[in-house]
Each structure stands twice: as structure tokens, then as C-alpha cells.
Structure 1
Amino acid sequence: MSRTLEWTVGVELTEDSGRTKAEARLDTGTSTITGHGSARCNPADVDVPAIGDELAASRAMKNLADKLMREANREMEAAGAGTVPQHTGPGYGWPEAVS
């Protein structure tokens, strides 16, 4: 069996008062999954907007990937297959900035 699919991911960033929020949306053509991430600039640090954009976007895409993996695991379990064990580890950046 051969098939070709195209899934589209879009990331929207908003920044206000030193806090950047990101929303990553995966459109599969039949469903949409949304991930969220944020970053904030420490008041003692130099404000570099590109860094906030990168952190917030990467966190949103990681959240999106986690949701997609959970969905795949649910579908594998429903089909009678086992799932890959989930490993969690430390995130990047300051814990209070991750939401």
C-alpha cells in the first residue's frame, strides 16, 4: 500500500509586556491539534524578542508533539498494540517561564 499525505503546521506568536505566547496548529485535513507555549523575559535580562519567539514556538511545538503522541498511543492501544514507554525529563529554560 502506498499513500501520500500532507499535514500543515502553523505557528502564531503574540508578544505583550515581555511575555511571548505561541500557538502551534497541526491540520491533518481531517482533524486539528493545537499546542501552546510561552516565554517571558526576565526583567534583569536584555530583551531579545527573537529568543522569546524561539522559546515560545518550540514549547508550543513540543506540546503539540506530545498531544499527537498521546493520540497515537490511544489508537495503538485500541488496535491491540502496545505503546512505547513515555520518558519525561527536564525542560529548557526557567520552570516559571514554561506554561
Structure 2
Amino acid sequence: MTRTLEWKAGVYLFEEDGRTKAKAVLDTGVTRLTGRGVARCNPQDVDVPEIGDELAVSRAMSDLAGQLMRIADRDLEAVGAGEGGQTAPDAAERKADAQYGWPDVTA
């Protein structure tokens, strides 16, 4: 099967009350997810706005990635490819041992 999709993503930054707030939005055409992140400059540190931007955006994107992974996990379980039937002592260990049909690719 060959298919092509376009998912739209946007990142928005706001400065407010000494904090940098970021919102990362992913629109798949079916679902819209929003991740949020915040950074603040320690009063003892040099104020470098770009660092606050980077931290806030990375946190927002991490939040968004976590939401997307939870949706994928639920969808995998719904089609019988999830963690069903595994017996691990806790959720963290089950997550670490999860073997899905789409492994992480780091190449």
C-alpha cells in the first residue's frame, strides 16, 4: 500500500510574566493535538531569550509526542498488536518491553 499524507504542524511562542510559553499544534486532518511547554529564566542567570524559546518549544513538542504515542498505543491495542497478555509488574516495565509491529528506527 502506498499513500501520501500531509500533517500540518505549528509552533507558537508567548512571553508572559517572565516566562516563555510554547504551544505546538499538530493537525492530521482527522485529529488536532496541542502540546504545551513553559520555561523561565532563573533570576541569577543571564537572560538569553533564545534559550527560553528552545526550552519551551522542546517541552511543548515532547508533550505533543507523548500524546501521539499514547494514541498510537491505544490504536495498536485496538487491533490486537498492543501489550495485551503480557504480564509485567508495572506499567513502566510493560512499556519498556512492548514489542509492536513498528519498531523504533534510529538509522
Q: Given the two structures, how large is their TM-score scaled by the length of structure 1?
A: 0.82
Residues 1:56 and 2:56 are matched in the alignment:
yes
- Aligned residue number for residue 72 of structure 1: 72
Aligned mates of 1:47, 1:86 — CA distance in 2: 38
Aligned mates of 1:18, 1:51 — CA distance in 2: 13
Any stretches of 5+ residues in structure 1 without a counterpart?
88-99
Give the number of equivalent residue pairs: 87
Which structure has the larger Rg?
2
Please state whether the residue corresponding to 2:64 is helix, strand or coil.
helix
Per chain length, whose mean CA-contact separation is higher, i.e. which structure has more relative contact order (CA < 8 Å, sep 6+)? 1
Residues 1:85 and 2:95 are matched in the alignment:
yes
- Aligned residue number for residue 26 of structure 2: 26
Please state whether the residue corresponding to 1:85 is helix, strand or coil.
helix
Residues 1:37 and 2:37 are matched in the alignment:
yes
1:67 is aligned with what amino acid?
Q
Please state whether the residue corresponding to 1:3 is helix, strand or coil.
coil
Kindly, what percent of the aligned residue pairs are identical?
A: 63
Deviation at 1:16, TM superposition (A): 1.9
Q: Considering only aligned residues, what root-mean-square deviation do their CA atoms show, in Å? A: 1.6
Aligned mates of 1:54, 1:86 — CA distance in 2: 28
Runs of 4+ in 1 over 2 A off after TM superposition: none
Any stretches of 5+ residues in structure 2 without a counterpart?
84-93, 98-107
Deviation at 1:18, TM superposition (A): 2.2
